[in-house]
Every structure is written in C-alpha cells, then in structure tokens.
Amino acid sequence: MMLWRCFKMAVQSVMSNKLRSMLTMLGIIIGITAVIALVSLMSGLTTEVTSAFEEVGIESIMINIQDRASTIELPVEDVEKLAEENPDVIAGQSPTVAMPAFIKDGTDNVSSSATGVNEQYFDLVDYEIAYGRGITYIDVERRQKVCVVGTYIAQEIFGGDALGKTLQITGTPYEVVGILEERDDSTKGSNDDCVYLPYTVAAHTTRSDKITSYVVYAASQETVDRAKSLVENMCGKAIGDDDYYTITAMKSIADTLMDILDRMEAMLIAIAAISLVVAGIGIMNIMLVSVTERTREIGIRKSLGAKQRNILAQFVMEAGMLSCIGGIIGIIIGSLLAVGAGKLLNMSVLPTPTAIIVSFTVSAAIGVFFGFMPAKKAAALNPIDALRYD
C-alpha cells in the first residue's frame, strides 16, 4: 500500500512539471535511441555477413596454386583420394576452372563467366536444380559439351525456356541440361548470372593442362580446422614450397570478420553509453533541485508520521519513473530509426528482444542509481529544519 501511494505521488510530481520532466528524460531518450539503433544495425549487418558466407559456403576451403613453373602441380587424383579417405572430415571436393563466357544464341549475345566443376559441386554448395539435372560423372569423364545455367542466362537468351536448348559459349555449342533455382533477382552480375560446365571441358577450352584451383568442403563447421590441416599436408607433399600455393578457409575469414564486427559493436555501445551517464547525472541534478524545492513538503510529511524509507521510496521511484519513461520513448524512436536505416541500406534490420529488454533495464537502473543520492538526502532531512525552510 505504501509503495502504491509513493508511486501515485511520483506520477503527480512528474506530471506537474511536464517540461522539466521531458528535458530531464531527453538524455535518456538520446542514449537509449542510440543504443537500440546501433545494436540493431550491427545485428542486421552481422546477419547479412553471415548469410553471405553461408551462401559461399562457410565450410569451404579454397586451394589456389601459383603456376610459376612446369613442375608445380596438384593432381586431381590426390584431392579426390584425400576426400575419399576422410569422409568424416571432408564432405567433398571439386576442381574449379574459371573462364570468360561470351554466350550466343542466334543474334543474342551475353557476356558472362563460366566455371568448370565436377559432379559433386552442386550438392556441396547446396545449389538446387529447378529444371533438368546437374553435371554428372559421365559428363566430366567424356568431356561432354553440356552446361547448367542460372535463371538470368535462361531468361536473357531463351526467355526462360532453356532446358534442352543449345547455346554457344565462346564459339562452342553446349546443350543446356539444367537450370538452377533463382537465388537473387535474375539480373546481370547477380548470383543468377552464371554458367557451369564439366571442369574437364573448361580446362580443355582454356588450354590448361593442369588444374590450379580447387574447393574442398569440410563435413561441418567443427571439422573445418581438421580438413584444412589435411589439405595443407597434402599440398606440402605434392607441391612442397608453400610460396606456390595458398589455402583459404572461409570459416577463418568469417570468424575474423565477426570478431571485428563484435568489437565495433562494443565500441559503438560504449560511445552511446556516455550519453546515458550524462543523462544519469542530469537526473541526479534535477532530483536535487526537486528536493530543495520540496523541502517544506518533506517536513510536513515527516511531521505527519512519514518514515525515512517512505521519503526515500518516493524520490527513488520518481527518478526511476523519469528514466523508465525516457527509456521507453528511446526504445520506440531507436526501433523506428533502425528499421528506417535498414530500408535505406537494403538490409533486414529489426531490434532484438534482448536489446530492448537490456536497454529498458539499463535505463531503469540509471534512474534508481543516480536518483538514490538525492532521495537519501531528502529522507535524511530533519523535519523541524525542513518546516523552517523558506
């Protein structure tokens, strides 16, 4: 009952000085707005980065060989054997041969890029075939002139009906045996602007007698380090000098980037927290002024039997209320700013429940912490001195 009475008195005090209350809450509003907006934007950015790495394949390990000498070679058979002997660590592998592709069908010409892969590639990268089939072992072994295209190529060249049709890639006719599911927006330069063919055909077309690029997929994120170690040992035995090859694990890059983003988020939150401290000091100052203005009121309440804990509870509750209301307003404004900024940046940005709960808790804690000293001062007033105060 006493707490409810203190709460009503705190509400009356806040409402009776609307402008001062609003100016007192302004620091909290700005601080919480900044925290919510920054945390939400960083969370959205982290999600975008994670999605990008998952699309590339966070379990992937890239092998690139610098073909500086005729003796430098990593045979396809060695990579295949490594994957076959370690199925619990390595999910699969594929040579990758990149080549420019000038695609032609009749009078239509499209400039794109083609990638030579093996029969495991589409399963490893989790690309879905919408129509037809992917590259097969027979295609690779027999160097069959077949290809799998993205939706952009299918629509640009054939109006969408590409399956079974023939197109010319750099002057050589290829049969379209598969069309990938749309992954972006089927525009030029997107993930749908792609052509895949057997790596043996791509190597022959580019007159490459050696494969200089491979992708190896770990069985899971937990086995990436072990898979990378196996790949390094294989390359060390086959090539020797590590100046002639590079091994890149996407997970290592992702972990490094995520660590940088986490540090940036912590730094931005720390900067925003400065305004919360300033806001807390502002609340303390206003509450001290309020105690001074209401000294006679405190004296009257004490002379009528109010105990120190009653006065303390009233002023702490008033400070906490100012801070909580400011926190709620800051959360609303910060959420709206975050969503608006996300739309401008073409990102999916939504405030997380954790950020909202933590922000509200912090705002309430700031009010109670910085309001305690003025409340303690009010509670300690001598009723006689307080009644004499003019």
Distance CA 251, CA 330 (A): 37
Chain centre to alpha carbon of residue 6: 45
Q: Which of 91, 341, 337, 60 is nearest to 219 (CA)?
A: 91
Which tokens belong to 245?
């090859």
Residuewise pLDDT in 10s, the chain (390 residues): 466 666 666 666 667 777 777 877 888 888 888 888 888 888 888 888 877 777 767 888 999 888 655 567 788 899 999 999 999 999 999 999 988 888 876 666 778 888 999 999 988 888 889 899 999 999 999 999 999 998 888 888 888 788 888 888 888 889 999 999 988 777 787 888 889 999 999 988 888 778 889 999 998 888 999 999 999 999 888 887 778 889 988 888 888 888 888 888 888 778 777 877 888 888 887 777 777 766 677 677 767 666 777 777 777 777 788 888 888 898 899 889 888 888 888 777 888 888 888 888 888 888 888 877 777 776 676 666 656 655
Distance CA 362, CA 70 (A): 65
Residues 6 or more apart from 341 whose CB is under 8 A from it? Answer: 37, 41, 349
pLDDT of residue 1: 44
pTM of the model: 0.68
pLDDT of residue 196: 94
Q: Which of 76, 353, 370, 52 is nearest to 212 (CA)?
A: 76
Please report, to the nearest 10 degrees, the dihedral formed by the alpha carbons of residues 52, 55, 61, 67 taken in order: -90
